[in-house]
């Protein structure tokens, strides 16, 4: 009975952990490594296991750093079931098909000017691999134990991070010995709009816990929302447009939901609000389909409007023509568009048309990686390049820090604090410094905390049995 760390050990991305128990091999997540010049090469490397030897995958949620290498796993011979909840299963095709298409277009571009004898670039995977993944997905319900194999039972709980994000409980039994593992997945903030709070676990023999913001304190959500309202009021006085680069899944829905919640207070009826991203529109439709994942307030708002995001003046821009039509609007438009870091996508056109106009506002609502246009705007460069053209930045750029989809240090500790008997913690999904900072705080709570590294193995059978609960599937 063993756990081995492979991805997201000592870093944020590439989530993948290997469980060996009851004669089976299981993966928790199979995510893509993102950021860093060597990421493409690392993603292509052989897995430290034979993909056909894996019996099943349990997927925590539909972010690319958790699910992005599933098509590669299947391409290399994995044929088993991929278990996840139904909302995650519905978001998965949107995300993986887009990723495959980007990879294929990238390879095509790279192969255009090949020198004689030069090896053609192959995409990491293609859409056929993605369709194969989707055929292997087996949705499982939230909150109900499910026996995957003799001796292996799983139950998924809400993690409050994006729609369909889960923490995973896993009971492993060999003979008389049972051990319970809890994998946090990515944990949301406790008062995230739309979603339930992260589930409060009481028992485990071992905890795998994310640490993305293990050393940080977020600005309070109330302050952040007040700031957003203030920016929109100023933007209305200035008379230009507002551009919000936003990730298609999660952040786009959250922003529009905040607009709905503060619709009267922020006088939003005077704006025309555009969601200009086919992927975000598709993701919003998945949100509409899963009201069971909504918290009380979102359930109330949805009931009054019969849709999510619930906004009367929302325009969904599906086609490229719809998107281009927005370019003629000089003022009174709030445009939510991807990509979230403005390193591609439709938002580039809107920035090109509005950045040089001082009456316009850009609101940055998510993490911006170094080297992206979004980061250049955060860093207040006076001039940027878009589609090869120089664009002067005269618009007012605002960075809103408090909308993170991840809990901060205090919230991570609150999540762990619900475990009564202080099970040992293995810290994953964070850079080393935040991981170490979180470990110090967890030890103060009485936990034996270890920051993981790739290849680290834990013998689960040698752990003391703390969790008395057993699944009753």
Q: Considering Cα of 404, then 410, then 413, then 415, what sign does the dihedral take?
A: negative
DSSP 98-117: HHHHHHHHHHHHHTTTPPTT
Q: Which stretch binds Zn ion (CB under 5 A): 56-64, 78-86, 101-109, 343-351?
A: 56-64
Please say which residue, 212 or 284, places its beta carbon nearer to Zn ion: 212
Please say which residue, 24 or 63, places its beta carbon nearer to Zn ion: 63
We find the least distance from the C-beta atom of residue 59 to Zn ion, in angstroms, to be: 11
Interior/surface letters 338-372, b for 16+ CB within 10 angstroms, e for the rest? bbbbbbebbbbbbbebbbebebbbbbbbbbbeeeb
| Sequence-separated (6 or more) residues with CB below 8 Å from residue 432 | 10, 451
Please say which residue, 224 or 404, places its beta carbon nearer to Zn ion: 404
Q: Which stretch binds Zn ion (CB under 5 A): 137-145, 180-188, 199-207, 237-245?
A: 180-188
Dihedrals phi, psi of 53, to nearest 5 degrees: -85, -5
336: number of Cβ within 10 Å: 29
We find the least distance from the C-beta atom of residue 354 to Zn ion, in angstroms, to be: 30
Closest CA to 149 of 229, 54, 65, 68: 54
Nearest-angstrom CA–CA distance, 413 and 441: 8
- 346 near Zn ion (CB under 5 A): no
Please say which residue, 249 or 326, places its beta carbon nearer to Zn ion: 249
We find the least distance from the C-beta atom of residue 388 to Zn ion, in angstroms, to be: 33
Q: Which stretch binds Zn ion (CB under 5 A): 59-67, 138-146, 295-303, 368-376?
A: 59-67
Please say which residue, 186 or 205, places its beta carbon nearer to Zn ion: 186
Please say which residue, 216 or 262, places its beta carbon nearer to Zn ion: 216
Dihedrals phi, psi of 132, to nearest 5 degrees: -65, -40
Q: Which of residues 220-279 bind Zn ion (CB under 5 A)?
A: none
Please say which residue, 317 or 452, places its beta carbon nearer to Zn ion: 452
We find the least distance from the C-beta atom of residue 196 to Zn ion, in angstroms, to be: 16
Interior/surface letters 274-310, b for 16+ CB within 10 angstroms, e for the rest? bbbbbbbbbbbebbeebeebbbeebeebbeeeebbbb
∠ CA 383-384-390 to the nearest 5 degrees?
85
Please say which residue, 17 or 63, places its beta carbon nearer to Zn ion: 63
Please say which residue, 11 or 186, places its beta carbon nearer to Zn ion: 186
Nearest-angstrom CA–CA distance, 199 and 269: 36
Please say which residue, 63 or 155, places its beta carbon nearer to Zn ion: 63
| Sequence-separated (6 or more) residues with CB below 8 Å from residue 57 | 26, 27, 28, 29, 30, 70, 73, 78, 80, 81, 82, 83
Nearest-angstrom CA–CA distance, 269 and 163: 27
> Containing H/E element for 208?
strand 206-210
Q: What DSSP state is assigned to residue 304? A: H
We find the least distance from the C-beta atom of residue 334 to Zn ion, in angstroms, to be: 26
Q: Per DSSP, what are the bridge partners of residue 82?
A: 57, 137
Q: Which stretch binds Zn ion (CB under 5 A): 63-71, 89-97, 119-127, 152-160?
A: 63-71
We find the least distance from the C-beta atom of residue 192 to Zn ion, in angstroms, to be: 12
Residue 231, token pair as written in the block? 């920016």
Q: Which stretch binds Zn ion (CB under 5 A): 58-66, 85-93, 416-424, 438-446?
A: 58-66
Q: Which stretch binds Zn ion (CB under 5 A): 60-68, 78-86, 228-236, 322-330?
A: 60-68
Q: Which stretch binds Zn ion (CB under 5 A): 47-55, 185-193, 274-282, 442-450?
A: 185-193
We find the least distance from the C-beta atom of residue 161 to Zn ion, in angstroms, to be: 5
Q: How many residues bind Zn ion (CB under 5 A)?
A: 2
- 63 near Zn ion (CB under 5 A): yes
- 186 near Zn ion (CB under 5 A): yes
Closest CA to 72 of 95, 100, 92: 100
Q: Which stretch binds Zn ion (CB under 5 A): 89-97, 143-151, 178-186, 464-472?
A: 178-186
Please say which residue, 15 or 317, places its beta carbon nearer to Zn ion: 15
We find the least distance from the C-beta atom of residue 120 to Zn ion, in angstroms, to be: 33
Q: Per DSSP, what are the bridge partners of residue 142?
A: 156
We find the least distance from the C-beta atom of residue 61 to Zn ion, in angstroms, to be: 6
We find the least distance from the C-beta atom of residue 211 to Zn ion, in angstroms, to be: 13
Give residues in contact with Zn ion (CB under 5 A): 63, 186
């Amino acid at each position: 009975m063993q756990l081995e760390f492979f991805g997201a050990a000592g870093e944020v991305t590439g989530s993948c952990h290997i469980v060996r128990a009851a004669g089976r091999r299981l993966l928790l997540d199979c995510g893509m490594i993102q950021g860093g010049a060597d990421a493409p090469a690392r993603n292509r490397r052989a897995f430290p296991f034979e993909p056909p030897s894996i019996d099943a995958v349990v997927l925590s949620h539909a972010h690319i750093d958790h699910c992005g290498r599933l098509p590669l796993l299947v391409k290399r011979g994995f044929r088993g079931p991929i278990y996840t909840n139904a909302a995650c299963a519905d978001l998965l095709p949107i995300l993986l098909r887009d990723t495959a298409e980007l990879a294929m277009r990238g390879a095509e571009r790279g192969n255009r000017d090949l020198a004689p004898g030069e090896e053609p670039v192959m995409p990491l995977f293609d859409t056929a691999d993605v369709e194969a993944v989707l055929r292997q997905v087996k949705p499982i319900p939230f909150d109900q134990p499910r026996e995957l194999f003799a001796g292996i039972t799983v139950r998924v709980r809400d993690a409050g991070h994006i729609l369909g994000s889960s923490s995973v409980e896993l009971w492993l039994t060999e003979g008389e010995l049972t051990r319970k593992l809890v994998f946090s997945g990515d944990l949301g903030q406790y008062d995230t709009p739309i979603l339930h709070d992260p589930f409060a676990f009481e028992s485990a023999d071992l905890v795998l816990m994310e640490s993305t913001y293990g050393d940080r304190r977020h600005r309070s959500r109330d302050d952040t929302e007040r700031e957003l309202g203030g920016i929109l009021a100023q933007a209305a006085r200035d008379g230009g447009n507002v551009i919000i680069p936003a990730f298609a899944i999660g952040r786009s829905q959250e922003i529009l939901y905040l607009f709905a919640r503060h619709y009267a207070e922020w006088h939003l009826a005077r704006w025309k609000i555009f969601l200009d991203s086919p992927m975000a529109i598709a993701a919003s439709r998945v949100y509409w389909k899963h009201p069971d994942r909504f918290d009380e307030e979102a359930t109330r708002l949805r009931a009054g409007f019969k849709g999510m995001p619930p906004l009367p003046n929302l325009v969904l821009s599906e086609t490229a023509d719809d998107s281009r039509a927005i370019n003629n609007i000089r003022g009174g438009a709030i445009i939510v568009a991807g990509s979230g870091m403005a390193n591609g996508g439709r938002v580039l056109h809107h920035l090109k048309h509005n950045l040089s106009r001082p009456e316009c506002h850009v609101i940055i609502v998510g993490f911006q990686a170094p080297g992206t246009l979004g980061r250049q705007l955060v860093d207040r460069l006076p001039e940027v390049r878009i589609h090869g053209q120089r664009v002067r930045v005269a618009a007012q750029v605002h960075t809103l820090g408090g909308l993170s989809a991840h809990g901060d240090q205090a919230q991570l500790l609150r999540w762990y604090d619900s475990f009564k008997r202080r099970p040992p913690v293995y810290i994953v999904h964070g850079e080393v410094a935040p991981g170490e900072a979180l470990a110090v705080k967890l030890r103060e709570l009485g936990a034996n905390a270890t920051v993981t590294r790739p290849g680290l193995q834990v013998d689960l059978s040698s752990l003391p049995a703390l969790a008395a609960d057993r699944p009753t599937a």
